[in-house]
Amino acid sequence: MKRGSCWPGEDIQEEAVELKLEDLQRKQLAENQAKSKRDLRESVWRTYKTVMLLAKDNSIRSIDLGLVHSSADASLVGFIVNRLKQDGDISEGISPKFLVRNWSGAHKEWSTKAVKDAVFASPLFPRLLNGDLIRETIARCEQ
pLDDT tens, position by position, 85-103: 998 888 888 888 888 787 7
β-strand 127-128 against 90-91: which pairing, if any?
Answer: parallel
For residues 100 and 67, state if they share a domain.
Answer: no
Specify whether 69 is located in the same domain as 79: yes
Enter the pTM of the model.
0.65
Q: Does any domain span residue 1?
A: no
3-state secondary structure the chain: CCCCCCCHHHHHHHCHHHHCCCHHHHHHHHHHHHHHHHHHHHHHHHHCCEEEEECCCCCEEEEECCCCCHHHCCCHHHHHHHHHHHCCCEECCCCHHHHHHHCCCCCCCCCHHHHHHHHHHCCCCCEECCCCHHHHHHHHHCC
Compute the average pLDDT of residues 4-30: 72
Q: What is the pLDDT of residue 142?
A: 64
Total number of domains constituting the chain: 3
Task: Count the neighbouring beta carbons within 10 Å of the beta carbon of residue 40.
Answer: 11
Establish if 117 belongs to a structural domain. yes
- Number of residues in the chain: 143
Domain range for 119: 92-141
The answer to whether residue 26 sits within a structural domain is yes
The residues, any chain, with a CB within 8 Å of residue 115's CB and separated by 6 or more, are 99, 103, 134, 137, 138
- Where residue 105 falls among pLDDT bands split at 50, 70, 90? low
Whether 135 and 109 map to the same domain: the answer is: yes
Mean pLDDT within 49-75: 89
Please tell me whether residues 81 and 100 are part of one structural domain.
Answer: no
What does the pLDDT read at residue 1?
A: 41
Q: Residue 2 has what pLDDT?
A: 47
Residue 96 lies in a domain: yes
Rounded CA-CA distance 33/8 in Å is 9
- Give percent of the chain above pLDDT 90: 20
